[in-house]
């Protein structure tokens, strides 16, 4: 039986804990055992709130006040029919019930689809963990961790489960989310005999907290709801997710439009009752039903749900292009981005560092081969190295570079890959090309300590024993050459150290500048010998050991620009977006890459040191012209973001480290690296790049613009169609006398359309065609337009003018067809009321089918890329087929009070309805002409 008692874990020696968990510190669990334990303990994740049952979601579709009123009106109409029995069946009531039911089903299906899409997105952003299984380091989903797993954690990682530390190298964690303590907690491995609170369990790490410094290894002791975070979660209820700003704006728009429509419906119903002197109860019920049906059809209560569907489906498309959106508002903001502030390494470049040259005291060596495959040669002037002093210096340099290193070179599926930092990986590959094997180096130089890299020091050191000289320890250090040189007092020449004179120091810096001018990233390598007892002092393992170093050599490596990045930079510029580069590299390296990518023709560059000397006001002026920031710290990014935002820019900022988190949060769109990014950076970001590629950011902007444009398309369509219905009904009441709409026979009043007609139009046009508009592919010129002004509403003034214009055309055209179909009025016809209503019903429906093509743009012709969206044509075809069934299927004729139409009738309806297309085309031509004139 495996013991996971949390009280005992921190009090016991770690060896006892590992033994009790049936694990192995070096090899971890086997895959088979991990699978068995996963079945026993369950997934390593917190229990979610109980899902809402499907039947409750379905009933929620009928909770709108207007829907309830409509159902009440239909029920009253049914009661009246039961009393009067003037028809064989209560057709109107049954049709209303059926349409409301169908609308409810469509709403339910849309909601379910949106939830599935959002759930799929959550799965894409699921955390991963580094774990040792079968004696091999692997990356697995954090949800699959089990007690007994051996996990590796390092700076920037989110800790995936509770664990007992096996080793700790300057490890510090932020446990504020668990304990409320804001200061980082230093971690050790020693057992704690007495009982202490969570905050004092220094040999434990806890799920949901994050590593702020150092690295460590731990054995998992608790997962899922058994973790300390899980125990807290079990006491709390989950909060509901907040709607996005776009959804809030649409909700406000819908409510405002709803108020206007309801007022018009009340006025219309009151006018019918007063003007036509209605007193009969059944007629009053009909008027009430008509008014409520008009309000139900005209109020876009489904807008937020439709937006959720379009956003979710669009975000899934973005994910297929390697841009994983964590927060939906980022999609809205993408269309407004004016600046993309990008890291260089891995984003604008391939992040496949390759050592090209090594310079030591005796000369320069070129390294052949590309990528991570350890295949290549070390050449001096194009030939194998002949100078023994140079060979010795280069070998010692690569030994130190290989040992001061945490990366792992592996061959997987026939492909060489690096686990860890690409720069460190490149050093290992170079060492292998020099014939230095991992086994031989491990056997002689066993690591016993480390001073991890920090962005402040720009150095990283490891301490090793030397099997050939047991009396000493060796410190191997690598880092920024200019900083490293300040800590060196000697240089290795041939077989031993010599004093580092000012002349030699100056020469090394000159060579460093020369290599940087060749677009090479440079690292300095050094070492130091210490007595065996040097680490016995508790504070010995610190940056104090990075003094009195012996300089070994310079390593120049290159991370070539991504081929697609250059094209992406050009696309971004064409879209009115200014790309800028922020890097810790040397200014000359940064400028060389920037010029090759086309980021700047005359690349103005600011270094971190220069940036620190600038005041906020001076920086706000300079950011408008600077395209490259070099030798900057992550902390500088926050100042750059603030300066850009102060100038009115909407900033997308990339980052991958812990220290990038503040800038990612401050940016309008924080973009974390999916491959090299730390968990802390990913949590702070709005979007994650699965491939760490700059081109993906630009693709995400394009997709974001397309999503926003599609939302505007279906808004343009829905609102103009709804306004057309409202104006048609209201106009018929106001102009009843002019149109000759007078009650005859048994009818208490005359309306151009029945409640069932309005609801039917709402069903067949607001569903499939509107959703199909939301799936419209991006317009070819979407990245040739300027960014959307920040703060501009989703429905602009120009959109409202177009919506009202189209609504008026629909109303006038429908009333015209109605008038010419009936006797009297302005144009005398010969048909009866059922014929006139069928003509008006069909015309209004066809108006909306033509209008759906108008709605694709406020400026482009409806014929532009006409067949670009097959879903739209399918939706229009389906709607027309449904309309035909209502007119020609006998039992539907009875239900909707329609009559069959002749071919000539259809032609008249289609010709009049097409006027909305031609008149809107004319208005677009005028608008484009005025735009060119300006």
CA–CA dist 118, 120 (Å, integer): 5
DSSP letter (8 states) at residue 450: E
Helix axes 245-275, 303-320, angle to 10 degrees: 150
Structure tokens at 6: 């949390």
Closest CA to 773 of 875, 887, 917: 875
Integer distance in angstroms from the first to the last C-alpha of the chain?
81
- Distance from chain centroid for Cα 148: 34
- Three-state secondary-structure class, residue 45: coil
Neighbours of 406 (CB within 10 A): 19
Total number of residues shown for the chain: 934
Q: Which residues lie across from 419 on neighbouring strands?
A: 408
Give the pair of three-digit tokens for residue 561: 């620009």
Are the CB atoms for 396 and 453 separated by under 8 Å?
Answer: no
Q: Between 281-298 and 245-275, two packed helices, what is the crossing angle to 10 degrees?
A: 160
- Quick count: other Cβ atoms within 10 Å of Cβ 467? 10
Active site residues: 343
Residue 106, both tokens: 């469509």
SS (H, E, C) 531-588: EHHHHCCCCCCCHHHCCCEEEEEEEEEECCECHHHHHHHHHHHHCCCEEEEECCCCHH
Of 624, 634, 583, nearest to 604 (Cα)? 624
**Cross-strand pairs, 132:** 137, 150
29 with 148: CB under 8 angstroms?
yes
Is 689 within 8 Å of 340 (Cβ atoms)?
Answer: no
Instruction: Give the SS3 label for residue 436.
Output: coil
d(CA 491, CA 493): 6
Decide the pairing of beta strands 687-689 and 669-673. parallel
Is residue 25 within 8 A of residue 166, CB to CB? The reply is yes
Please give the DSSP secondary-structure letter assigned to residue 175: -
């Amino acid at each position: 039986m495996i013991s996971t008692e949390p009280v005992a874990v921190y009090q016991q020696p770690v060896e006892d804990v590992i033994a009790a968990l049936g694990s192995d510190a070096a090899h971890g669990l086997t895959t088979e055992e991990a699978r068995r334990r996963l079945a026993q303990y369950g997934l390593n994740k917190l229990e979610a709130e109980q899902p809402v049952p499907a039947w409750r979601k379905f009933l929620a579709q009928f909770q709108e006040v207007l829907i309830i009123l409509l159902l009440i009106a239909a029920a009253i109409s049914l009661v009246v029919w039961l009393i009067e029995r003037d028809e064989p069946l209560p057709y109107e009531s049954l049709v209303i019930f059926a349409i409301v039911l169908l609308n409810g089903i469509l709403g339910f299906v849309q909601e379910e689809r949106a939830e599935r899409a959002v759930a799929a997105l959550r799965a894409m952003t699921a955390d991963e963990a580094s774990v040792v299984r079968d004696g091999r380091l692997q990356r697995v989903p954090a949800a699959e961790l089990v007690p007994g797993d051996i996990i590796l954690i390092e700076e920037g990682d989110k800790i995936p489960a509770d664990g007992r530390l096996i080793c700790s190298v300057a490890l510090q964690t932020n446990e504020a989310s668990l304990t409320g303590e804001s200061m980082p907690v230093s971690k050790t491995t020693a057992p704690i005999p007495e009982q202490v609170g969570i905050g004092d369990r220094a040999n434990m790490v806890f799920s949901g907290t994050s590593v702020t410094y150092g690295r460590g290894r731990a054995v998992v002791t608790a997962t899922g709801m058994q973790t300390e975070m899980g125990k807290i979660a079990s006491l709390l209820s989950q909060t509901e997710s907040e709607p996005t700003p776009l959804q809030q704006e649409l909700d406000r728009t819908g409510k405002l439009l709803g108020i206007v429509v309801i007022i018009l419906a009340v006025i219309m119903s009151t006018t019918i009752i007063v003007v036509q002197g209605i007193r009969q109860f059944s007629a009053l019920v009909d008027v009430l039903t008509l008014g409520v049906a008009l309000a139900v059809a005209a109020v876009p209560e489904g807008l937020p749900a439709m937006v959720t569907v379009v956003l979710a489906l669009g975000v899934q498309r973005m994910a297929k292009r390697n841009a994983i959106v964590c927060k939906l508002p980022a999609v809205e903001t993408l269309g407004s981005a004016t600046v993309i502030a990008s890291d260089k390494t891995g984003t604008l470049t391939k992040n496949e560092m390759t050592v090209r040259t090594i310079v030591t005291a005796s000369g320069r060596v070129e390294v052949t081969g590309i990528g991570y495959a350890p295949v290549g040669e070390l050449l001096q002037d194009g030939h194998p190295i002949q100078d023994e002093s140079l060979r010795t210096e280069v070998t010692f340099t690569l030994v130190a570079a290989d040992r001061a290193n945490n990366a792992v070179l592996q061959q997987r599926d026939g492909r060489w890959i690096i686990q860890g930092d690409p720069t460190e990986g490149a050093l290992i590959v170079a060492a292998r090309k020099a014939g230095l094997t991992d086994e031989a180096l491990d056997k002689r130089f066993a690591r016993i300590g480390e001073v991890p890299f920090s962005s402040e020091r720009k150095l990283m050191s490891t301490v090793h024993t030397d099997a050939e000289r047991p009396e000493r320890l060796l410190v191997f250090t690598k880092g920024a050459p200019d900083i490293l040189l300040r800590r060196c007092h000697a240089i290795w020449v041939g077989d031993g150290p010599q004093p580092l004179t000012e002349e030699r120091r100056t020469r090394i810096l000159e060579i460093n500048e020369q290599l940087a001018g060749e677009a090479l990233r440079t690292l300095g390598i050094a070492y130091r010998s210490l007595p065996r007892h040097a680490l016995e002092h508790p504070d010995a393992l610190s940056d104090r050991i990075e003094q009195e170093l012996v300089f070994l050599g310079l390593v120049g490596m290159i991370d070539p620009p991504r081929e697609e990045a250059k094209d992406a930079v050009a696309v971004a510029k064409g879209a009115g977006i200014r790309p800028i580069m922020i890097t810790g590299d040397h200014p000359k390296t940064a400028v060389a890459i920037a010029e090759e990518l086309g980021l700047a023709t005359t690349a103005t560059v600011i270094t971190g040191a220069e940036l620190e000397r600038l005041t906020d006001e001076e920086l706000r002026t300079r950011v408008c012209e600077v395209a490259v920031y070099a030798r900057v710290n992550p902390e500088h990014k926050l100042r750059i973001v603030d300066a850009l935002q102060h100038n009115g820019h909407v900033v997308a900022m990339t980052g991958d480290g812990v220290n990038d988190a503040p800038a990612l949060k401050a940016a309008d769109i924080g973009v974390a690296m999916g491959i090299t990014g730390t968990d802390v950076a990913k949590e702070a970001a709005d979007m994650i790049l699965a491939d760490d590629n700059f081109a993906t950011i630009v693709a995400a902007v394009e997709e974001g613009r397309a999503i926003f444009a599609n939302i505007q398309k279906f808004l343009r369509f829905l609102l103009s169609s709804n306004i057309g219905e409202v104006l048609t009904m209201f106009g018929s009441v106001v102009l009843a006398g002019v149109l000759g709409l007078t009650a005859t026979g048994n009818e208490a009043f005359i309306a151009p359309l029945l409640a069932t007609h309005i609801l039917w139009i709402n069903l067949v046009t607001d569903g499939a065609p509107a959703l199909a508009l939301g799936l419209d592919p991006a317009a070819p010129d979407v990245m040739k337009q300027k960014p959307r002004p920040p703060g501009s509403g989703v429905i602009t003034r120009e959109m409202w003018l177009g919506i009202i214009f189209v609504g008026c055309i629909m109303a006038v055209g429908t009333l015209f067809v109605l008038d010419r179909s009936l006797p009297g009025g302005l144009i005398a016809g010969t048909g009866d009321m059922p014929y006139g209503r069928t003509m008006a019903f069909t015309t209004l429906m066809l108006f909306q089918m033509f209008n759906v093509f108008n709605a694709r743009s406020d400026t482009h012709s409806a014929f532009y890329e006409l067949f670009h969206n097959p879903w739209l044509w399918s939706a229009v075809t389906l709607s027309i087929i449904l309309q035909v069934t209502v007119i020609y299927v006998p039992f539907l004729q009875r239900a909707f009070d329609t009559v069959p139409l002749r071919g000539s009738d259809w032609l008249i309806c289609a010709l009049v309805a097409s006027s909305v297309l031609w008149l809107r085309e004319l208005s677009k031509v005028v608008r484009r002409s005025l735009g060119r004139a300006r």
